[in-house]
Amino acid sequence: KQEVTQIPAALSVPEGENLVLNCSFTDSAIYNLQWFRQDPGKGLTSLLLIQSSQREQTSGRLNASLDKSSGRSTLYIAASQPGDSATYLCAVPISSGSARQLTFGSGTQLTVLP
């Protein structure tokens, strides 16, 4: 059974710092990997999706990498801002026909201090 682990569980950094969030998964036969952001009391917002054939994806100050062979992904946030404060979750699907069940990590709660 696929298991997803995110380390650290919480992270606090000063504004302007570059940072890396980690995600590891046990079964490397993944279809893709997704990174989401969750603000308190809200749903999830998709940040980046990396296909299994890709090694990285970029969106603005965010860069996600994927190493299937080692079962790892990282989310790099450049020049962090207080507005980046949120919980970041990674998820991998187990393809099942046309639906894609997602297995989630427990998330990293990020606080960016002004």
Which residues are near other proteins by CB under 8 A?
4, 9, 31-32, 34, 36, 41-46, 49, 51, 89, 91, 96-102, 104-107
Smallest gap from residue 16 Cβ to other proteins (A): 28
Adjacent-strand bridge partners of 28? none
Smallest separation, CB 6 to other proteins (Å): 8
Sign of CA pseudo-dihedral 48, 67, 20, 2: positive
- Cβ contacts of 15 within 8 Å, gap of 6 or more: 80, 81, 82, 112, 113, 114
Least distance (Å) between residue 97 CB and other proteins: 6
